Amino acid sequence: MSDYIGILGLILITLGFGYEMVGTVKRRKCNLSRGVLLLFISASLLLFYHAFQLGDIVFMSLNLIVTFINLVNLYFS
């Protein structure tokens, strides 16, 4: 049951961040500062490593997706 809850959380976070990323790509401008984006990317990579140590596939997937989205945002910042 907890796997389903984790997957639902992954989907919801991905939809939220993904929606914002699509807007960023359309505008070709991200409204977040580069510092904040670098903080998000660093945090996501550290959380990915932690999830990897735990063997948590859902948490690893989420953090890779969030890292990718924030890299796209960084490109447009």
Supply the pTM of this predicted model.
0.82
For residue 36, the model assigns a pLDDT of 92
For 32-66, write each residue's pLDDT tens digit: 899 999 999 999 999 999 999 999 998 999 999 99
Helix, strand, coil distribution of the chain in percent, nearest 5: 85, 0, 15
Cα–Cα distance measured from residue 3 to residue 57, given in angstroms and rounded to the nearest whole number: 10
Between 42 and 1, name the one with better pLDDT. Answer: 42
Tokens of 42: 């660093």
All domains of the chain in start order, with CATH: 2-75 (1.20.1280.290)
Q: Residue 2's pLDDT band (boundaries 50, 70, 90)?
A: confident
Q: Residue 17's pLDDT band (boundaries 50, 70, 90)?
A: confident
User: CB within 8 A of 63, min separation 6: which ones?
Assistant: 44, 45, 47, 48, 51
Other CB atoms within 10 A of residue 50 CB: 13
